[in-house]
Amino acid sequence: MSDKVITRFAPSPTGWIHVGNLRTALMNYLISQQQGGEFILRIDDTDQNRSKEEYVDGIKRDLEWLGITWDRVERQSARLEKYEEAAEKLREMGRFYEAFETPTELDLKRKKQLNMGRPPVYDRAALNLSDAERDALRAERGAGAWRFKLNQSRTVWQDGILGEVSIDGASVSDPVLIRADGQILYTLASVVDDTEMGVTHVVRGSDHVTNTGTQIQIMEALGGTPPSFAHHSLLTDPQGGALSKRLGTLALKDLREQGIAPQALLSLMSRLGSSDPVELRVEMQELIDGFDISRFGSAPTKFDAEDLKPLTARYLQTLSAADVSDEIAALGVPADQAERFWAVTRENITTLHDLEGWWTLFTQGADPVIADEDREFVAQALELLPVGAFDDDTWASWTAAVKEKTGRKGKGLFMPLRHALTGMPNGPDMGQMMPLLQVVKARDAV
């Protein structure tokens, strides 16, 4: 075996991936890239009812948009025989047993245990069935579910984020690895894949910690070497509440549609929850070089989608007009004005979607804002404003003329004019903006 680092991102294609999934994907990706290793995109699609091709395509599109590239794709649905082989091995070892309880019966057992103040761990009743009892149950109920017989000892591992973790096998129910309807569950499939594909590092959410205890036992039973595990904390909303319900609205595809820049998302999600500051990083290589999983803490991590906006704005400021020429042309901005349009707007937008509002303002004019006490002043000023196209000098010469005529200067001169022409208290430099301004609605308002 080589000592090449191999990681994987293993989403189930049962929905659009969101910021929480991205955190997992990114950590695994960065580790593999830092070590010159391999990154596998593994589609966990053994649940045929809930897995959809549309989501597989969506996952790939989202990762491509972010520039997270994979070395190969593996699909669990294409590997069912491997899982059957592993199941057979476990049966032969006496570590796999068929159980026939219905969900209602299991629920009742759990309630009874809880009532008696005992942990709701499966009582292994099925292990004690005689052959005759088992045959009778099978005849009556059909095939049962297959459970893995855990060793009732502690499984300990050195977690890349949590430090030493120990899971007591006696406190966990023997996990069902194959359902009564024959569906292979992720717990088994993942163990087989991680072992056969030589995965060396697994980073995933801390909701998998108990699962890891179980999976290490299964791997060891099958003769495999467990990878290094690291469990990152789960994301919460800015108030510390569960984010799980809101994750549906934090799908990567929605953030993309809102105009969030990939660089903003990557910069935030690769550092959030660590002791390293979140700073805009434009190049993936910078994220790779600076990534250190040991700097992540175990406390829940607050996530605020609003943080993506200033990062996006900052990223856009690094771009040239040529970088966004397609977006600018799509608005109908003539090529010879693109450079100026971008120079004027780039520090006044949060996302590229905001460009449209500026172009509308320049081509259709802004609804003026004129305070009562400035009405007379603005009327006088507009009489001095040249008719026809404005140029680089228009603002300077116009305001000089207005100053001379009205005696106003400084803020008292400039602010009412900005308000009248743009409808806003601040924005781009007026001198630079004037040549783009095609309509002055204020002329009709005074």
Residues that bind ligand GLU (CB under 6 A): 10-12, 44, 186, 190, 204, 208
- Nearest CB to ligand GLU, comparing residues 18 and 408: 18
- Nearest CB to ligand GLU, comparing residues 12 and 206: 12
Closest CA relative to residue 70, chosen from 42, 32, 40, 43: 40
- Nearest CB to ligand GLU, comparing residues 10 and 167: 10
* Residue 282 C-beta: closest distance to ligand GLU, Å: 29
* Residue 285 C-beta: closest distance to ligand GLU, Å: 25
Q: Is 311 helix (H, G, I), strand (E, B) or coil?
A: helix
* Residue 10 C-beta: closest distance to ligand GLU, Å: 4
- Output the known binding site: 245
Compute the distance between CA of residue 338 and CA of residue 426 in angstroms, rounded to an integer.
22
* Residue 24 C-beta: closest distance to ligand GLU, Å: 7
Convert 88-102 to b/e letters by CB count within 10 Å (16 or more is b): eebeeeebbbbbbbe
Q: DSSP letters along 175-217, please?
A: PEEE-TT-PBPHHHHHHHHHHHTT--EEEEEGGGHHHHHHHHH
Q: DSSP letters along 40-94, please?
A: EEEE----TTT--HHHHHHHHHHHHHHT---SEEEEGGG-HHHHHHHHHHHHHTT
Convert 250-287 to b/e letters by CB count within 10 Å (16 or more is b): bbbeebbeebbbbbbbbbbbbbbbbeeebebbeebeeb
* Residue 392 C-beta: closest distance to ligand GLU, Å: 57
Would strands 145-148 and 176-178 be described as parallel, antiparallel, or unpaired? antiparallel
- Nearest CB to ligand GLU, comparing residues 76 and 312: 76
* Residue 40 C-beta: closest distance to ligand GLU, Å: 11
- Nearest CB to ligand GLU, comparing residues 30 and 311: 30
Compute the distance between CA of residue 371 and CA of residue 228 in angstroms, rounded to an integer.
67
Axis-axis angle for helices 394-406, 410-422 (nearest 10): 120
- At 312, which helix (H) or strand (E)? helix 308-316
- Nearest CB to ligand GLU, comparing residues 190 and 217: 190
* Residue 42 C-beta: closest distance to ligand GLU, Å: 8
What secondary structure letter does DSSP report for 318? T
- Nearest CB to ligand GLU, comparing residues 11 and 427: 11
- Output the known binding site for ATP: 245
CA dist list (Å): 165 to 93, 144, 160, 195, 444: 27, 33, 10, 21, 73
189 in Cβ contact with 158 (< 8 Å): no
* Residue 28 C-beta: closest distance to ligand GLU, Å: 8
- Nearest CB to ligand GLU, comparing residues 18 and 149: 18
- At 358, which helix (H) or strand (E)? helix 355-364
